[in-house]
Amino acid sequence: MAPAFEDETASETNFSDVEQLHKSKVTVVGSGNWGSVAAKLIASNTLKLSSFHDEVRMWVYEEILPSGEKLSEVINQNNENVKYLPGIKLGKNVVADPDLEHAVKDATMLVFVTPHQFMEGICKRLVGKIRGDVEAISLIKGMEVKMEGPCMISTLITDSLGINCCVLMGANIANEIAVEKFSEATVGYRENRDIAERWVRLFSTPYFMVSAVQDVEGVELCGTLKNVVAIAAGFVDGLEMGNNTKAAIMRIGLREMKAFSKLLFSSVRDSTFFESCGIADLITTCLGGRNRKVAEAFARNGGKRSFDELEAEMLQGQKLQGVSTAREVYEVLSHRGWLELFPLFTAVHEISTGRLPPSAIVEYSEHTPRLNLLEGSAQYC
């Protein structure tokens, strides 16, 4: 018979193994500016929370740096995303992985944070490659426009992969969060409050306060549509129209955001627009952020340089969301006969594509009948 202390040791080892099996494993799908910041936030918490594995995997779309080195290897060597978040340490428990299938293997919590136009392809690659019990959250602003109508990214993830997907949006300029300046965010969930609270714990820090609301579509549409309004705000800045004009554009933009959201999803809550994902995100994106910045440059050049050209010059590989979202929103409005109801959204797209000059961002305000139609949309709110 073996000594009692050996049985106890074996029992402790078995218990430890079982405990490890029940810990959540997190993978961040995306490694741009915001994806790297998300990985940093999460990695600081997985070290503290006993219900999570320490290691956080981060899928990196492989790039070759000017030095000839691979981005993923440099991230792992330096603990820093030298291209998209230079000067910020991610946490030694962040592991960059250029192999998408390997990065998500055995993960129980997936954080999606890539440009929205890449998500359909990513989801196709993940079919059959993830656990059936995985939980997901999308930090992605944007939507897919299909023949049957608009599809939110969280819905695309759920429908493609058969998994539950929450969303996280808020007044979150990534570089400010990276240096730990105070910020807030909102998690949107459908039914399971416990899952939402798990995401809240995973992201929350003393400088990043997260709350949860039961309104996935409302939270996600706020995060998506504010980029269109930010483009309009950038036009105003580029034309030096002043703060009064910019405030008017933001107010009209918020009204169109709410009306559009309610027309698409009657379940959207009015209160959601007063969370961080709503008015707060709209304000910060119209005051700062890449969409406003590039739109300002577009207007200063009289619309003579394309957004694609300015994006390549100014953003070092990062992607604009506002212009593509404006196009997608325009497609929805045109298909459903709603263009007259949303003059600001319509003008942003037409200016972005060169059909109208940047100054048209305020000229539509003289067309009283169109604004009356917009006021009439309050019946849907």
65 φ/ψ sector (left φ>0, alpha ψ -120 to 50, else beta): beta
Neighbours of 193 (CB within 10 A): 11
Is 48 catalytic? The answer is no
User: Which residue among the candidates 226, 246, 258, 293 is catalytic per the annotation?
Assistant: 226
Paired tokens of 174: 């990534």
Helical (H) or strand (E) element with 151: strand 149-152
Distance, in Å, from the CA atom of 136 to the CA atom of 28, rounded to the nearest integer, reads 10
Distance, in Å, from the CA atom of 282 to the CA atom of 337, rounded to the nearest integer, reads 26
Distance, in Å, from the CA atom of 196 to the CA atom of 334, rounded to the nearest integer, reads 35
Residue with tokens 């989801």: 123
Q: Residue 166 in contact with residue 131, Cβ under 8 Å?
A: no
3-state helix, strand, coil in the chain (%, to 5): 55, 15, 30
Sequence letter at residue 106: D
Cite the annotated binding site for NAD(+) by residue number: 30-35, 118, 174, 290, 319, 321
Distance, in Å, from the CA atom of 47 to the CA atom of 32, rounded to the nearest integer, reads 23
Q: Residue 161 in contact with residue 130, Cβ under 8 Å?
A: yes
Distance, in Å, from the CA atom of 156 to the CA atom of 162, rounded to the nearest integer, reads 10
Cite the annotated binding site by residue number: 30-35, 118, 141, 174, 290-291, 319, 321
Distance, in Å, from the CA atom of 188 to the CA atom of 186, rounded to the nearest integer, reads 6
Cite the annotated binding site for substrate by residue number: 141, 290-291
Paired tokens of 288: 């700062």
Query: Which residue, 88, 274, 92, is CA-closest to 177?
Result: 88
Paired tokens of 204: 């929350």
110 φ/ψ sector (left φ>0, alpha ψ -120 to 50, else beta): beta
Paired tokens of 153: 């990214």
Sequence letter at residue 258: K
Neighbours of 238 (CB within 10 A): 22
SS3 45: helix
Which active-site residues does the annotation give? Answer: 226
